[in-house]
Amino acid sequence: MLKQKKVKSKKITSLEACQECPAICCRDLAMIIGKPHTKEEIEDLKWQVRFDTVDIFIRQHHWYLRVKGKCMYLGKNNLCKIYADRPDKCKEHKAPNCERFGEYHEVLITTPDELVEYLDSKKRHKIKIK
């Protein structure tokens, strides 16, 4: 079943948030993608979510492809081994707007059927409005 949730964020400082963090952001690779519009784009996404390490999520109307895995520089203590030289993407990723604090997506799509269901629900919604 398709999971749709509201994004929640708690008021907390970045310093507090990073203490004892399980480094969720270092375990999944999320890449922004465009919303699929053509049959080919939809078929490509359906193919991608067939892999058990891949899903799609939507946050604030932006679509993301998420690949589950772990950064090669994440230490056993959940600290970055190259913290001083970490990439800008890592520096820009800050709490409390991160994965640690509640759901960070409104929609999570994990199967081809869920993708079709979500896209169909949006088509029906547009027809009702007109």
More confidently predicted of 41 and 123? 41
Give the tens place of pLDDT for each residue, 74-111: 998 888 999 899 999 888 887 666 777 767 789 999 99
* Buried b or exposed e, range 4-31, using 16+ CB within 10 angstroms: eeeeeeeeeeeeebbeeeebebbebbbe
For the segment 50-64, the average pLDDT, to the nearest whole number, is: 94
Rounded to two decimals, what is the model's pTM?
A: 0.74
Contact 101, 14 (CB under 8 A): no
pLDDT at residue 127 tops 50:
no
More confidently predicted of 22 and 125? 22
Matching residue, tokens 């929640």? 8
Banded pLDDT at 70 (limits 50, 70, 90): very high
What does the domain layout of the chain look like in residue ranges?
Answer: 3-129
β-pair partners for 108? 3, 57
Give the tens place of pLDDT for each residue, 7-56: 454 455 555 667 777 888 888 888 999 999 999 999 999 999 999 999 99
Q: What is the pLDDT of residue 3?
A: 58
Q: What are phi and psi of 23, to 5 degrees?
A: 55, 50
Banded pLDDT at 5 (limits 50, 70, 90): low
